[in-house]
Amino acid sequence: METIINNLPEPGEILTHDFRPKIYSNDDEEINENNNISPKPTTRPIKCLQWNVERNYRASKIIKTLKELDPDIAFIQEIDIGCARSERRDHFREIAKELRWMGVYVCEFFEIESEKRTKRDQGGGVHGNAIFTKYDIASFRLIDHKYHPYNWERDGNKLGEPRKGRRFSLVAEVKTPFGPPILCYCVHLEVFCGITGRIAQFSEILSDATAHMTTHPYQLIFGDLNTMSRSIARLSHLCSTDQYRILSLGTSESVWWDKYLLSWHVSDGESNLLLESRGLGYFIEDAVVKKTFSGFTTSVLRTARNPGFYDPWNPEHDVTLHLPKYFGLYRAKLDWTLIRGFDVVKRWMGNHDYSASDHKYLMVALEFDDLLGNNSNLNDNIAVDSEAMEKQVWSSRRKYWARRTKRGWKVRKVREGEDCDHVEDDNGNGGKKSWLRELGISCV
């Protein structure tokens, strides 16, 4: 068991650890710990993991699962450092050390130790999110969100979880030996609000990603987006707090996001008209209450536009959290792997019994897409400008994965008695051919 560090980070502070036995030079030559240069590794798919590990309550099983999965890049939320509820251990350092990874961590909250907390939720340390990788993290930074639909410092006591801090999103540029740099976003959106609050926070991430499309066309937004409003959760005055608890009846929040947020491409217009037409509400701007049909501010409507991300999972059926209370009625897709510039060749979903965390994990194997700006092998009736091409590829991918995941994930194990849930399907080149044919592109 690790001993907690004496100086805890403040909310918004970033920590780093690097326990890799090997580093990579700028020329992508592998240099081992004795500084001997090895040949550049053979190109292969990059395995990328999304997982909320629920405050490291079951630390040993979490680390065991991570070792079995062996991802190249891991996006992990809810990592504790120094909290009584997780044995006052530095779980960020432990994960990096055990997996021999490089990692960056953002502290979101100082978890105040208080009699208001239950023993299981007791604080005394900090809580945040991290990006880990086997390879180089060339740079990192934060998105310090402007939108905070829940004030934890003021209202945390009401939930029995007094805290100091707020939500941040972590951004890192990861360099692998297999292709161009990857811009990675690790996200944990607010849970105690409604659809408008979560989309307002997420719009800032989409805006940042759009601003970096030219310099970093290969991007990943992985995280727990807390798309909670569904079924019995609509009755909650905590996680479904706006007019959409009624106006989205008949649709889960994850499907709602897919239909009205993620389907609006940046080239469709300067403002997301799908969101704008959803309902009647209000927002507060400059201390003045203003009416709007959607409940979203004009600035959110301008930034809530998708620059080309798709999620290769079913927004309705690929549930990643299922609470046993409330007669098992509360179940939802909270976790997302939003991908830009890559082709998905394999997918994994696991922790189906929730024995390691209250969330399932999602993992995808990705190949760099050679179609960004590539107009070769097109039929004469296909647009040749790069923006139109990118939108066509994005649209075809969304349609392809909507068809392929129509019935959701099929749970199965590779071998009887195996702890780690493995791949359901191998998309491979066959899947890619099917949606490329829709564009009139040949795929050898």
What is the tens place of the pLDDT at every residue in 203-251? 999 999 999 999 999 999 999 999 988 777 777 778 888 888 888 888 8
**Model pLDDT for residues 343-354, shown as the tens digit of each residue:** 999 999 999 999
Give me the sheet containing 335-340, strands edge to edge: 136-144, 168-175, 182-188, 219-224, 335-340
* Domain definitions of the chain by residue range: 14-439
pLDDT in the model for residue 376: 46
CA atoms within 13 A on the CB side of 284: 5
Across 97-112, average pLDDT = 98
Task: Give the integer Cα–Cα distance in Å for 308 and 265.
Answer: 7
Task: Give the integer Cα–Cα distance in Å for 179 and 392.
Answer: 23
Give the DSSP H/E element, type plus range, for residue 111.
Answer: strand 102-111
Domain at 14-439: CATH architecture:
4-Layer Sandwich (3.60)
Task: Give the integer Cα–Cα distance in Å for 185 and 130.
Answer: 10
pLDDT in the model for residue 303: 97
Structural tokens at position 137: 């993290």
**Model pLDDT for residues 309-366, shown as the tens digit of each residue:** 999 999 999 999 987 766 666 789 999 999 999 999 999 999 999 999 999 999 999 9
Task: Give the integer Cα–Cα distance in Å for 412 and 105.
Answer: 33
Whether residue 216 contacts residue 200, with contact meaning beta carbons closer than 8 Å, is answered with no
Residue 112 has pLDDT above 80, yes or no: yes
**Model pLDDT for residues 21-50, shown as the tens digit of each residue:** 965 544 544 444 443 333 345 579 999 999
Across 381-390, average pLDDT = 69
pLDDT in the model for residue 330: 79
Structural tokens at position 215: 């310099």
Structural tokens at position 283: 């927002």
Across 165-190, average pLDDT = 97
| The one-letter amino acid at 114 | S
pLDDT in the model for residue 388: 86
Distances (CA, A) of 4 to 1, 7, 59, 97, 330: 10, 9, 15, 14, 36
Whether residue 359 contacts residue 335, with contact meaning beta carbons closer than 8 Å, is answered with yes
Structural tokens at position 84: 């009584």
Band (pLDDT 50/70/90 cuts) for residue 427 is low
Angle at CA 57, nearest 5°, toward 418 and 49? 55
